[in-house]
């Protein structure tokens, strides 16, 4: 297993839990040392326990020596970052560098598995870089959700394997034999495109839900009832129909842009894809416009001198991941308007210098509201429901909560003297004593 990020560490630990012998390689020696001690820095439910149990069983090890890790391996997984590069294309520098590093030490008959999300044609590209006729390259995309990665690995909806060599595909499939999941055996291009198509479709549903919420506000409808009404149709489904402050995270933004780049380079017009991306940006700007209007600002939407309290900065609950977080995207738009931002997130400490130019991060949710004209709920942390909202109201100069996750109980806020305004839902005014 080369790479110990969310995908690599989860895949390695879970395969070890299934009885396989796994060695995970990473270039960061400090990270390797911590993992050898079962110290997992990623906030991910069940992952620390899975790593610890596999280490104690002697089926999992960590090393900083990539060549040594692959020298005796029958299957080598590439779990490397493919961030958004110039023009939106996926940056394959890490994948290509590792391919060059391991090509001369792979044992004959080894199968190299692309687990990273990579553009169509990457299997062929890696095979060419390896230049080994006795080594097969297979695509096996991951479908793990942060906050549920271990569960998703052990209870997958499907396992997709793309290979030109059926024997190699079966060898990879056998690694998952203990799991009860449909197996999709296909060619490498189809497997690679499946991952991008899945993430694009999810992003499209979220953009649809956010636009639908705007429509609900215009007509006085309730988005919760509308999405329940359409989500019960099995052709539509209820997943990814909850509106919010936009979509983000480590996958959807980079993968939608990478797919759009693939379309452009191949001469395929896909307006639905570009509209999905643009709708997300427009939605976040609209939310900031709404906050500015609620603060009594003029047509220019300036927020200079306005203090706002932000609740939640991570891209979703259950993780400490800030990569392409929609909460941070909204925060940046607010800062561009001149707002002063104080933030609380249960997964983050005050020691985050990378956020210091954007927000003042505090460990006390009540302190976050000091002098705030409004509160904004940006991440769906369940514990935000149970905050002392009366104490928060006492610290604020205003009385409005913009619940951009439709998370909070309107009656509870009303009793605290706060009005709640969600997305696509009727406003809930504060109760006057």
Task: Give every CB contact of residue 191 below 8 A, 6+ residues apart in sequence.
Answer: 139, 140, 141, 160, 161, 162, 184
Nearest alpha carbon to residue 156 among 176, 186, 171, 174 = 176
- Give the pLDDT band (50/70/90) at residue 379: very high
Q: Tokens in use for 20?
A: 């396989």
Mind listing the pLDDT tens digit for each residue in 264-285? 999 999 999 999 999 999 999 9
Residues 105 and 67 sit within 8 Å (Cβ to Cβ): yes
Dihedral pair phi/psi, residue 302, rounded to 5°: -65, 140
Mind listing the pLDDT tens digit for each residue in 185-210? 999 999 999 999 999 999 999 999 99
Choose the catalytic residue: 251, 263, 295, 375.
Answer: 251
Mind listing the pLDDT tens digit for each residue in 56-95? 999 999 999 999 999 999 999 999 999 999 899 999 999 9
In order of 191, 204, 355, the CA distances from 246 in angstroms are 27, 11, 20
pLDDT of residue 433: 54
pLDDT of residue 427: 82
- Rounded CA-CA distance 68/102 in Å is 9
Question: Is residue 298's pLDDT more than 70?
Answer: no
Mind listing the pLDDT tens digit for each residue in 113-171? 999 999 999 999 999 999 999 999 999 999 999 999 999 999 999 999 999 999 999 99
Q: Is 14 a catalytic residue?
A: no
| Average predicted confidence (pLDDT) for the chain | 96
The torsion angle over the Cα atoms of residues 325, 326, 328 and 330, rounded to 10 degrees, is: 170
pLDDT of residue 299: 62
pLDDT of residue 310: 98
pLDDT of residue 153: 98
- Give the pLDDT band (50/70/90) at residue 349: confident
- Rounded CA-CA distance 393/390 in Å is 5
What residues form DSSP beta bridges with 62?
24
pLDDT of residue 352: 85
pLDDT of residue 426: 87
Sequence-ordered alpha helix ranges (H) in 57-131: 66-71, 93-102, 122-130
pLDDT of residue 432: 57
- Give the pLDDT band (50/70/90) at residue 296: confident
Mind listing the pLDDT tens digit for each residue in 385-409? 999 999 999 999 999 999 999 999 9
């Amino acid at each position: 297993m080369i790479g110990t990020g969310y995908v690599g560490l989860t895949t390695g630990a879970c395969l070890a839990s299934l009885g396989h012998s796994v060695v995970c390689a990473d270039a960061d020696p400090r990270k390797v040392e911590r993992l050898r001690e079962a110290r997992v820095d990623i906030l991910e439910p069940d992952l620390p326990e899975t790593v610890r149990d596999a280490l104690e069983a002697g089926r999992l090890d960590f090393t900083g020596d990539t060549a040594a890790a692959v020298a005796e391996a029958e299957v080598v997984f590439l779990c490397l970052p493919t961030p958004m590069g110039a023009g939106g294309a996926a940056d394959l520098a890490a994948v290509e560098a590792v391919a060059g590093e391991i090509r001369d030490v792979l044992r004959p008959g080894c199968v190299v598995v692309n687990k990273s999300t990579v553009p169509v044609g990457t299997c062929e590209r890696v095979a060419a870089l390896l230049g080994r006729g006795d080594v097969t390259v297979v695509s096996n995309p991951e479908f793990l959700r942060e906050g549920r990665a271990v569960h998703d690995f052990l209870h997958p909806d499907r396992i997709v394997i793309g290979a030109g060599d059926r024997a190699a595909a079966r060898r990879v499939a056998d690694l998952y034999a203990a799991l009860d999941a449909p197996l999709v055996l296909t060619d490498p291009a189809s497997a690679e495109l499946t991952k991008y198509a899945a993430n694009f479709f999810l992003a499209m549903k979220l953009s649809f839900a956010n636009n639908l919420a705007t429509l609900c506000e215009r007509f006085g409808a309730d988005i919760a009832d509308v999405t329940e009404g359409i989500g019960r149709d099995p052709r539509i489904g209820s997943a990814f129909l909850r509106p919010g402050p936009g979509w983000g995270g480590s996958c959807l933004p980079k993968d939608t842009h990478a797919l759009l780049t693939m379309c452009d380079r191949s001469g395929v017009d896909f307006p639905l894809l570009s509209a999905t991306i643009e709708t997300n940006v427009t939605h976040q700007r609209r939310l900031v416009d709404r906050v500015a209007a609620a603060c009594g600002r003029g047509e220019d939407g300036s927020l200079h001198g306005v203090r706002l309290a932000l609740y939640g900065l991570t891209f979703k609950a259950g993780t400490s991941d800030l990569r392409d977080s929609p909460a941070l995207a909204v925060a940046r738009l607010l800062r561009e308007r001149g707002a002063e931002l104080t933030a609380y997130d249960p997964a983050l400490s005050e020691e985050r210098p990378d956020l210091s130019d954007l927000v003042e991060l505090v460990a006390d949710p009540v302190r976050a509201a000091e002098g705030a004209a409004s509160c904004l709920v940006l991440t769906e942390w369940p514990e935000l429901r149970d905050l002392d909202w009366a104490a928060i109201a006492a610290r604020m100069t205003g009385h409005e909560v913009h619940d951009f996750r439709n998370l909070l109980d309107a009656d509870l806020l009303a009793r605290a003297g706060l009005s709640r305004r969600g997305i696509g839902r009727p406003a809930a005014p504060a109760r006057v004593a």
